[in-house]
């Protein structure tokens, strides 16, 4: 086994251990750019996230007073926790460098763009969130995406059928 193969272990590297994804985000929005952010968690939240008790549906990020917060993300209270468990839908601060926040402020200032969490994963034992700078799709854009997806699926099916 060479040195590169030794370094590439499960759970380390480029977000190999995905915990939750926001599939509605890619359907309803065009993702213009993506950025990785850490997330500030309390108490038993990490244990709940590792158990997969998290939902990114309907969550979004907002920039207030020079800091980025993730809102409406639901993390179930830890099953074996105590009275000091966390509230499920509290605002959670995202950990970004100042230059990244300034860049996001400039991008979100453009009309119709918003910050949507795309996926949550573990990277070297830390919980990371991939935030997308997104623009809402119109109904005709959604139909076009669906037509393209259907055509690709049929083409793959025909190729697989003819190669047998």
In contact, 129 and 120? CB cutoff 8 Å: yes
- Residue range 16-68, pLDDT digits in tens: 689 999 988 888 888 999 999 999 998 888 889 999 999 999 999 999 999 99
Q: Where are the domains of the chain?
A: 13-136
- Residue range 108-137, pLDDT digits in tens: 888 889 999 999 999 998 999 999 999 988
Structure tokens at 94: 């995202």
Terminal C-alpha separation, the chain? 35
User: What is the dotted CATH code of the domain comprising 13-136?
Assistant: 2.40.280.10
């Amino acid at each position: 086994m060479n040195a590169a193969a030794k370094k590439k272990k499960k759970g380390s590297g480029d977000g190999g251990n995905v915990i939750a994804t926001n599939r509605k985000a890619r359907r309803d929005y065009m993702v213009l750019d993506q950025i990785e952010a850490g997330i500030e968690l309390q108490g038993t939240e990490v244990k709940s996230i590792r158990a997969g008790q998290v939902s990114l549906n309907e969550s979004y990020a907002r920039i207030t007073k020079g800091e980025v917060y993730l809102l409406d993300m639901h993390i179930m209270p830890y099953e074996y926790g105590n009275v000091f468990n966390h509230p499920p839908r509290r605002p959670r601060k995202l950990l970004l460098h100042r230059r990244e926040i300034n860049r996001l402020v400039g991008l979100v200032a453009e009309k119709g763009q918003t910050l949507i969490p795309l996926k949550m994963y573990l990277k070297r034992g830390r919980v990371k969130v991939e935030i997308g700078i997104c623009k809402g799709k119109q109904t005709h854009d959604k139909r076009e995406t669906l037509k393209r997806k259907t055509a690709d699926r049929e083409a793959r099916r025909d190729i697989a059928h003819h190669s047998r």
